[in-house]
Chain A
Amino acid sequence: MDKRIFGALGALAITLAACGGTATTSASGSPNATSTAAKPDVKVGVVISLTGVGNVYGPTQKNGVELAAQRINDAGGVSGAKLVLVIDDDQSTTDGGVTAFRKQTSQDRVVAILGPTLSNTAVAAHPVAQSAQTPVIAISNTGDGIVGKCDWGTCDYIFRASLGESTAIPQTVSIAKSKLNVKSVVLMYAQDDKFSSDGFAIFKKNLTSSGITIKKEIAFSKTDVDLSGPVTAALAESPDAIVDSSLAGPAIQVLKEVNKRKPGMLVIGGNGFNTPAIIASAGAAAEGAVSGAAWYLGNPDPVNKDFVTAYKAKYNADPDQFAAQAYSAVYILLDALKRTPTVTSVLHDKLRDQIELTTGVKTPLGEFSFNASHDVTQKVYVVQIKNGQFTLIN
């Protein structure tokens, strides 16, 4: 018995010591490492969800930023200095996000931070960067209150490069009305998920203001095992279209159930629809689904084609919207860094001013600018799935 207890304790102690050890070395080693290089490295923080619920998005975001950094350094870096990424996992939790932000602002002294992946992590972590006066570019938050007028206070160091649902959804709704002739809908949403609830509120507002009748609102749970019941109830109202505000998982169920019961029925979605997983899992049932996107794979723009080719060569897979937005954000930051006289951690305010001036940067998302409230100005691509491909319809 004794031996076993000591064995277990030993293992525990070794594990803890080993891990604690690596953490401290990297922390204490980093400030000196920069002095040996000819030009100090430009450290950019990236906080994304590599584990936890958000790890569906984090890994491709990591691919996106790493591809961008590699290509930037191959092309001479930031005016000769090497661009170094400091990537931390926020574990999809507010605690993890805040901790990572604090670490990057106080220990790593990064010039700017990209992230975090999830909106509820962002509203907790962004204030950390704001009080450390370190610029942030959000790369995947789509809800309201992330930039401009923030719920938590002044947020003049926070920018967003990811198309917000409050910009995308109105376009989708207007196309649905003008081109697809939708007059009435049933609005379905996952009520226990922040992303879906935010989308639901925006859809509801825009559908009402554009005169489309909402025949019924149906809430379901993100943990629902099967959505045949809610979909049957929605179809019983015989609307022109079904609007679904949810993440990809439930969206696939909705598409399949709708297709089974009423093939050809129009389904309109939010950002949750903009993933290849929808087409892979729902197959033919995904045909005809409409959503507003910040990016789509088939965009023939040369900058996008170049990105897609490079991504495929490096990772042997197609990029998704999250990878494209993460990749673009690094280039948007690069553009501002190049315009900032000397980039060091003490010149955060100068870098911030330059990010504010971002206009017409060519990215896979199209020509990119920030507006006065630090939010995205870019084209919204309203896409419809046709022959297993996202196809532009606006």
Chain B
Amino acid sequence: MDGLQQFFDAYQTTIGFIGLNAMLALSVWLTLYTGQLTLGNAAFAGIAAYGSALLTMKAGYPFPLALACGALLAAAVSLPLGATVFRLRGVYLAIATLAFGEVVRVAILAIPITGRGQGLVGIPPKTELWHIFASLLVIAYVCARLRISTVGRAWAAIREDELAAASQGIPVRRYKLAAFVLGALIAGWAGGLGAHFDFAIQPDEFGFARAVQILVFAVVGGIPNVFGPILGALLFTALPAVLQPLQEYRDIFQGVILVLVIVYLPRGLATLLELRRTARLRTVGAEDVA
């Protein structure tokens, strides 16, 4: 028991980050499930992180209210953005959201109240582990319910064939936008929690590399259900700590694992959960991610 306590003490940050990353992975999962590739979620997390941290630090807002305001701010930004960029698809959509993310990063660097390149330091550490995991539980539950609801079926229909979905009377643009804004809201919530989990945030933490990392969690985890993104976040957040003994060879192993999973597990790590049903496995190859 003592050993377990020690382990928990030592890795409590990593455990927290697993939860935060799982939420971010779910936030991008929503749009991926709709068949849309967006890379704006790191920026949404950033907007909310800075927004909520400034509210608790400078305006003295209570923590839950600041979190909610941050997440709503992210969602409020995502609405007009989504309304404009969802004219695009595929790589174009991805790059447009990416460009938005960079504009956000540069804006943070240019606004003095954010501490600019020096970062925002001295954020009160209000986030407890249970906040993170309770949030994750609620978000995962909502996403899982959404997936099997009418909305979820409409999203799946859009992913399979947009034109067919539209011809059946599904308001395609509106459904895509809903997934995008909900994703921004979740990313914002995670961003706010993350800002109050560390003591400091930096513009770089919400840049291109982070956006790609979030995407990796979701895709490697698998898009078919909500367990995939959570599993992906778990694996790739824990991996650096687990592979620590490998020292300078660690990145190589991480790269190898990434390639192996993508090449040999077409539907992501979520396939692992279906291993027992070997009969289904034969059909897996045909049905791919995203």
Binding site for B on A (CB under 8 A): 1-2, 4-5, 7-9, 11-12, 15-16, 19-20, 22-23, 26-28, 50-51, 88-89, 91, 94-96, 98-99, 102-103, 106-107, 120, 123-124, 127, 143, 145, 151-152, 190-194, 196-198, 200-201
For the complex with contacts A20-B242, A151-B199, 12 further pairs of A-B residues with Cβ separation under 8 Å are A8-B260, A95-B14, A99-B13, A99-B14, A99-B241, A103-B10, A107-B7, A123-B121, A123-B200, A152-B122, A192-B105, A197-B116
Complex: A5 Cα to B198 Cα, angstroms: 38
| B-side contacts of A7, CB under 8 Å | 264
Task: Look across to chain A and name the residue whose beta carbon is closest to the beta carbon of B269.
Answer: A12
Q: B80 an interface residue at 8 Å Cβ cutoff?
A: no
Residues of B within 8 A of A (CB): 3, 6-7, 9-14, 17, 105, 109, 116-119, 121-122, 125, 198-200, 202-204, 240-248, 250-251, 253, 257, 260-261, 263-265, 271-272, 275, 278, 281-282, 284-285
Closest CB of chain B to A374's CB: distance in Å? 18
Instruction: Determine which residue in B116, B121, B203, B284 has the highest number of CB atoms from chain A within 10 A of its CB, and name it.
Output: B121
Residue in B14, B118, B119 whose beta carbon sits within 8 Å of that of A201 in the complex: B118
Q: State whether B109 touches A194 (Cβ < 8 A).
A: no
Q: Number of contacts between A and B (CB, 8 Å)?
A: 121
Ranked nearest first, the 6 interchain pairs of A and B with the lowest CB-CB distance are A197-B117, A8-B264, A151-B122, A103-B10, A106-B9, A151-B121
Chain B residues, CB < 8 A from A151: 121-122, 199-200
Q: A50-B248, A124-B198, A192-B204 are contacts. A102–B11 as well, Cβ < 8 Å? A: yes
| Interchain nearest-CB distance for B83 vs A (Å) | 30
A2-B281, A197-B118 known; A89-B198 Cβ under 8 A: no
- List A contacts of B6 (CB < 8 A): 27, 106-107
Q: Name B203's closest neighbour in chain A (CB-CB).
A: A192
What's the Cα separation between A192 and B281 when bound, in Å? 48
Give the contacting residue for B265; candidates A8, A91, A99, A107; CB below 8 A: A8
Complex Cα spacing A102 to B241, Å: 13
CA distance A28 to B6 in the complex (A): 10
Q: List 8 A-B contacts (CB under 8 A).
A: A11-B260, A12-B260, A12-B261, A106-B10, A120-B202, A124-B199, A143-B118, A194-B117
B-chain residues with CB within 8 Å of residue A120 when the two chains form the complex: 119, 200, 202
Q: Are B117 and A196 in contact (CB under 8 A)?
A: yes
CA distance in complex: A51, B260 (Å): 23
Contact A99–B11 (Cβ < 8 Å): yes
Report which of B7, B13, B243 forms a contact with A98, defined as CB distance below 8 A.
Answer: B13
Whether the Cβ atoms of A19 and B243 lie closer than 8 Å is yes
CB distance from A250 to the nearest CB of B (A): 13
How many Å lie between the Cα of A106 and that of B12 in the bound state? 11
What's the Cα separation between A119 and B168 when bound, in Å?
57
User: In the complex, what distance in Å separates the CA atom of A198 from the CA atom of B121?
Assistant: 13
Rounded to whole Å, the gap between the CB of B191 and the closest CB of chain A is 15
CB A8 to nearest CB in B, in angstroms, measures: 4
In whole angstroms, how far apart are the Cα atoms of A152 and B57 in the complex?
Answer: 12
Residues of A within 8 A of B284 (CB): 1
Min CB gap A199→B, angstroms = 10
* B261/A19 in contact, CB under 8 A: no
CB distance from A25 to the nearest CB of B (A): 10
CA distance A344 to B260 in the complex (A): 47
Q: Please judge, given known A-B contacts A22-B245, A102-B9, A192-B117, whether A12 and B257 are in contact too, CB under 8 Å.
A: yes
Contacts of A107 in B (CB 8 A): 6-7, 9-10
Residue of B nearest to A104 (CB): B10
Q: How many Å from the CB of A9 to the closest CB on chain B? A: 7
Task: Give the shortest distance, in Å, between B6 (CB) and chain A (any CB).
Answer: 5
Q: Contacting A5 at CB < 8 Å: which of B9, B10, B271? A: B271
In the complex, chain B residues whose CB is within 8 Å of the CB of A193? 117
A96 lies within 8 A of B202 (CB): no
Chain A residues in 8 Å Cβ range of B13:
95, 98-99, 102
Which one, A88, A102, A194, contacts B12 given CB within 8 A?
A: A102
Nearest-Cβ distance from residue A228 to partner chain B, whole angstroms = 21
A residues in contact with B122, CB < 8 Å: 151-152
Least distance between B176 CB and chain A CB atoms (Å)? 32
- Contact present for B246 and A19 (CB under 8 Å): yes
A120-B205 Cα distance, complex, nearest whole Å: 11
Pairwise interchain contact A23-B11, C-beta atoms closer than 8 A: no
**Roughly how many angstroms separate A107 CA and B179 CA in the complex, as a whole number?**
44
* CB–CB B199/A152 < 8 A: yes
Contact A198 B240 (CB under 8 A): no
Which of B17, B117, B125 is in CB contact (< 8 Å) with A190?
Answer: B117
Q: Given A99-B10, A192-B109, check contact A23 B272 (CB 8 Å).
A: no
* Chain B residues, CB < 8 A from A145: 121
| A23 lies within 8 A of B116 (CB) | no
A51 to B247, CA, bound (A): 8
B106 CB to closest chain A CB, in angstroms?
A: 8
Cα-based distance from A158 to B200 in the complex (angstroms): 17
> Cα distance A12–B125 when bound, in Å?
36
